[in-house]
A and B are shown apart, each in its own frame.
Chain A
Amino acid sequence: MILGVFWVFLGYLWGRKAKNMDGYMLAGRNVGLALGAATAMATWVTSNTTMLAPQFALELGIWGMLAYSTASFGLFLFAPLAKRIRQLMPRGYTSGDFVRRRYGRAAWAFFLAISIFYSLTWLISMGMAGGILMNAVAGIRYEVGMSAILLVCVLYTLFGGLYAVIGTDYIQSLIILIGIGVVGWGVLSYASFETIYENVTEDKPMLLKMLMPAALMAVFNNMLFAVGEIFHSNVWWSRALAMRDKVGQRAYLLAGLFWLPVPVAAGFIALTGGTLGINITSPDMVGPFVAAQVLGRIGAVIVFIVLFCSLASSIDSLLAATSDLITEDIYRKMIHPSATDRGLRRASAAIIVGVGLFVWAVCWPRVGTLAEVLFFAGPMVGSTIWPIAAGLFWRKANPTGALLAMALGTAFGLAAYLTIGWYAGALVGAAVSMVITVLSTLLAPGDFDWKRLDEEPIDSTQKRGGAFEVMPA
């Protein structure tokens, strides 16, 4: 409760800096290197990092742990994209803006569907994780804990917009790094590497095998899933657009470096459970459970704070970015093109509350495990990698190719997800999308003018035209 009240207070405090939509949605486009790197790192440390990474290690072993850490490549690869996005769209707002102007209406609609679906599934997985965490570590009923964390995040995001999100992310990133370090050190003081190795070799031999099939499949699947998440999601585009000129590339590189050891440390904790005689009752709780058991009451508190911060840092980012996407791409572009700054701010607030309520309603019955919920979106986000990358760097990439790449990548990826498993969906989606993007560019090359991506900012004094107005050449 203290943490929740503190974040809401910070949200209110920082929210007063937002004087217009640029301030509310993009923190004035003036975020520096330290805050930029911290917000990227903290946003990427989700409950999945602290709960799913240990589950990967428990179920897929050493390769599973390393597979999870490959998600840092999403941040590394996005670094040059962040620079490119800022160059091409210095006044842009969302990833949807880019797709609309680059590829036109049909691809934009499909992309929006993917992006909103992904954002909602990620939010739902965070909401569920919050409830599970509160129940396992503090004994609070799932429904109460889930509701509380969603309420806190909705409130401070509502009050403060991206200023509050980034500011709280900075504090949360420090807490996460310190907390993970303390827990890792604590666990190692109870069990040495040698005893852990002997125990795993005897009880769970496949976890140490270099040729464990499911784990091998998970390596590139997880990497491509992460690349797709970051390349397409407005969570990362909004940050790239919010950072000062020339800051984005360095910020994302630093964020990737700081993030890389976190899932390795979290995964390692899961492998010590057998050595310490701890019975694991649910695979998605192995990390927090082992940490709390080993370190006692203090460990439980540390785990609770770290997990709360990792959840809050991601839920707030998702709420803000999803609200921006829906406000800008659907409300302003399709429903009310002549909306003023104030009207957009009200719409944005209503959307944050609406999304929060929807997620809360879906989280309530607690269906599925965290991995099942999130990885279902893998084929879709994997299919967006090549349309986005080619769209930013290749003049010749064409709209039809982009749409087909996303549609067929999604279809084949989902087929792989259902027939082979969750550890193949994103990989197949990305591969099919790549082939179609390359072939369509070779067979029907376009000639895009990059200047068309630079759009006027939202200005309360100007009336807007239609949703698909073309920029002058």
Chain B
Amino acid sequence: MFGAGLLVLLFHAAGAVSVQERGGVPPPELVIDSPSPSRAGHARLLWVPDATLLERDDIVFELQQATREDFSDARALYRGPDMASVVSGLEDGTYYYRVRAAVAETDADEVGPWSDPEVLVVEHHPLQLAILLMIVGGLVFAATVAVVIHGVLTAGREDVAKA
């Protein structure tokens, strides 16, 4: 009996017992609903909660963002009942995201484990390409304005000549 109890204690210590048995909330599944790498520094993050949580209205989700894989510089982006969030305005780099569920307005024991992290790579378009396209666009626009103005003036002269 003593041996069996010892085995159970060892099993708990190894963390092999499920979250539900510990009384916590299971982690949601996190998905980045945007292409990676992102060429404009924005993405939409979605998380799908465990089926057991869908009917509950006291669950909140906490979303974190980090630039290090170990989340040592993590910061909270959102805490609330929504199941998606848009991030934007990110500079070039690699960003890590994770989310967890918690029972609202209770102590920390009811906070669930983090989801598997998702990685978003941000690689903005080369600035040279952007400037080249901007120059091309400016030329096309200027030429279009010129053809309209010239056309109006020429048509005006034709009308005067007919009169």
Q: Which residues of A contact B (CB under 8 A)?
A: 58-61, 73, 77, 80-81, 83-84, 87, 200, 203-208, 211-217, 219-221, 223-224, 227, 279-283, 286, 385-386, 389-390, 392-394, 420-421, 424, 427-428, 430-431, 434
Contact = CB atoms under 8 A, between A and B. Distances in A.
B140 to A, nearest CB: 5
Given A220-B140, A223-B141, A393-B151, 19 more contacts: A59-B42, A61-B89, A80-B151, A87-B155, A206-B91, A207-B89, A208-B89, A216-B133, A217-B130, A217-B133, A217-B134, A227-B141, A279-B82, A281-B84, A281-B85, A282-B84, A420-B133, A421-B125, A431-B137
Interface stretch (B48-56, B96-104, B142-150): B142-150
Nearest to B75: A203
Contacts of A59: 40, 42, 88
Contacts of A386: 144, 147
B127 interface: yes
Chain A facing B: main interface SS: helix
Interface in B102-138: 124-127, 129-131, 133-134, 136-138
B36 interface: no
Contacts of A60: 40
B157 interface: no
Given A80-B148, A84-B155, A214 B86 contact: no
B74 interface: no
B86 A282 contact: yes
A447 to B, nearest CB: 14
Interface of B: 39-42, 44, 78, 80, 82-86, 88-91, 124-127, 129-131, 133-134, 136-141, 143-145, 147-152, 154-155
A213 B126 contact: yes
Nearest to B130: A213
Contacts of A84: 151-152, 155
A88 B78 CA distance: 59
Nearest to B124: A213
Given A84-B155, A279-B78, A394-B151, A77 B145 contact: yes
Given A203-B89, A283-B42, A434 B133 contact: no
18 contacts: A77-B148, A204-B90, A206-B41, A207-B88, A211-B130, A213-B125, A215-B40, A217-B134, A223-B141, A224-B141, A282-B86, A283-B44, A283-B88, A386-B144, A389-B151, A394-B147, A420-B129, A421-B39
